[in-house]
A and B are shown apart, each in its own frame.
Chain A
Amino acid sequence: DQQVKQNSPSLSVQEGRISILNCDYTNSMFDYFLWYKKYPAEGPTFLISISSIKDKNEDGRFTVFLNKSAKHLSLHIVPSQPGDSAVYFCAASPPPRVQGAQKLVFGQGTRLTINP
């Protein structure tokens, strides 16, 4: 049961244009969402996050949009740069509980290629 889905395995965008990466989730208990970026042979690095009380969070060239009713979030990168070429993972977290860790549930990832 894939609770977080990224249905596009790959995306190719021209430098300077907007990149839009999509993510869908099924568990309505998730209340925090994150995007991670991963270069080959490196671990994922945190990019941007959003709480379920918001519908948009912006950090420089990166903006994350959350549509709770559709259980959908997206990451916009504008303008796209060659250094943005990487695999992007969407992740979700439920609220902290009395016991148990705050587990991140990851999507399968989308490989973004920015063409010069």
Chain B
Amino acid sequence: GAGVSQSPRYKVAKRGQDVALRCDPISGHVSLFWYQQALGQGPEFLTYFQNEAQLDKSGLPSDRFFAERPEGSVSTLKIQRTQQEDSAVYLCASSLAPLTGRGSARITNEKLFFGSGTQLSVL
């Protein structure tokens, strides 16, 4: 497809259940971000991949959160033993250029394309 695709669109999980959220970035995009957006809040950074390398995972809220991008394209965000506070929209975004390192393209100059998100509800 032409844009960033995320699946499932909605996910309802029972507390304690494991979930996996998928992101298909735009083909050829090097950079991939995961953001978490709680109700009534702005998106908050979770983690960043450059190709298959996870270069920044400082935003992951606990060790229950795990993300991977093994072949440098599709990425999966896994949440183990879900809790009610994990309920949020999880947004994936991709960009053509690498966005790490001094002298790299600025995030404002290299457009960041967001998917529609996965809305996770933990009951």
A residues lining the B interface (CB < 8 Å): 4, 6, 9, 32, 34, 41-46, 49, 51, 89, 91, 93, 95-109
Contact = CB atoms under 8 A, between A and B. Distances in A.
* Majority-rule SS of A interface residues: loop
B40 A45 contact: no
A93 B40 contact: no
Given A41-B116, A101-B55, A96 B42 contact: no
Contacts of B33: 101
A100 to B, nearest CB: 5
Contact of B106 (A96, A98, A105, A108): A96
Interface stretch (B43-51, B63-71, B75-83): B43-51
Given A32-B108, A106-B42, A108-B41, A42 B116 contact: yes
A43 B117 contact: yes
Contacts of B116: 41-43
Interface string B31-61: 1010000001111110010000001101100
* Majority-rule SS of B interface residues: loop
Nearest to A109: B42
Contacts of A100: 55-56, 58, 100
B42 A89 contact: yes
Contacts of B91: 43-44
Which residue, of A41, A49, A102, has the highest number of chain B Cβ atoms within 10 A?
Answer: A102
Which residue, of A6, A46, A103, A109, has the highest number of chain B Cβ atoms within 10 A?
Answer: A103
B26 interface: no
Contacts of A49: 108
Nearest to A48: B108
Interface in B64-118: 91, 93, 99-104, 106-108, 111-117
A52 to B, nearest CB: 11
Contacts of B117: 43
Given A89-B42, A101-B99, A45 B108 contact: no
